[in-house]
Amino acid sequence: MLKRKAEAIALLQRLQDLSRTAHAKGEMPDGTIAAVQWSGIGFRAGASRFIAPLPQIAEVLPYPALTRVPGARPWVKGVANVRGNLVTIVDLPEFFGGAPVERDLRSRLIVINLPDVYCAVLVNEVLGMRQFDEEADAEIPANGTNPASGPIPGITNRQFRREGVLWQEYDFRKLVASPGFQDVAA
């Protein structure tokens, strides 16, 4: 009886190990390989749709009450108290050279989750979590430019198309490191 119990436990452990190995490789139980999924938070800035990696976003909030900062560039809307911390608020479409975000029911604040960065961006709308199949939905890389203002800081060379809608990957690390982003004095 003990021998059968030990054999059963060993078999279950072996199955568990095989399952973990297959899962790590993306294999399904029937031996097929699962599609590699890319997840992020979708948002609209101006007329463009972007998707940012989940780890780069601390939280999404409604358009907050702001305190203007004298002498700041027009795209720096001010500072807001977010959970006891003063956070600099940047209007992302206006930073790109477009029209500023209007305060309405869809406009949102995306608090950036990066080390030593205490800022957030205003966007026209947050479109929720999105997942893309890296093979089926991937397209030719975006050129990352705006005809009116030139290069758009933060756009990566990855984009996805789903149901006729183009989503450009957005990297907040590139935005923060871009020339001019931290030059907030007018």
Instruction: Tell whether 152 and 102 lie within a shared domain.
Output: yes
CATH number at residue 67: 2.40.50.180
Average confidence (pLDDT) over 33-53: 87
Residues 150-180: tens digit of each pLDDT? 567 888 888 888 888 889 999 999 999 988 8
Nearest Cα to 152, choosing from 160, 139, 142, 162? 142
Instruction: Tell whether 57 and 103 lie within a shared domain.
Output: yes
Residue 158: which domain range? 37-177
Instruction: Tell whether 134 and 168 lie within a shared domain.
Output: yes
Q: Is residue 107 part of a domain?
A: yes
Q: Is residue 170 part of a domain?
A: yes
Instruction: Tell whether 103 and 24 lie within a shared domain.
Output: no
Instruction: Tell whether 92 and 166 lie within a shared domain.
Output: yes
Instruction: Tell whether 51 and 19 lie within a shared domain.
Output: no
Q: Is residue 63 part of a domain?
A: yes
* Terminal C-alpha separation, the chain: 82
Q: Which amino acid is at 19?
A: S
Please report which helix (H) or strand (E) contains residue 38, including its range: strand 37-45
Instruction: Tell whether 24 and 65 lie within a shared domain.
Output: no
Instruction: Tell whether 130 and 87 lie within a shared domain.
Output: yes
Average confidence (pLDDT) over 114-139: 87
Q: Is the pLDDT of residue 76 over 80?
A: yes
Instruction: Tell whether 173 and 100 lie within a shared domain.
Output: yes
Q: Is residue 82 part of a domain?
A: yes
Q: Which amino acid is at 144?
A: G
Please give the tally of structural domains in the chain. 2
Give the Cα separation of 151 and 145 in Å (integer): 4
Band the pLDDT of 149: cuts 50, 70, 90: very low
Q: Is the pLDDT of residue 124 over 70?
A: yes
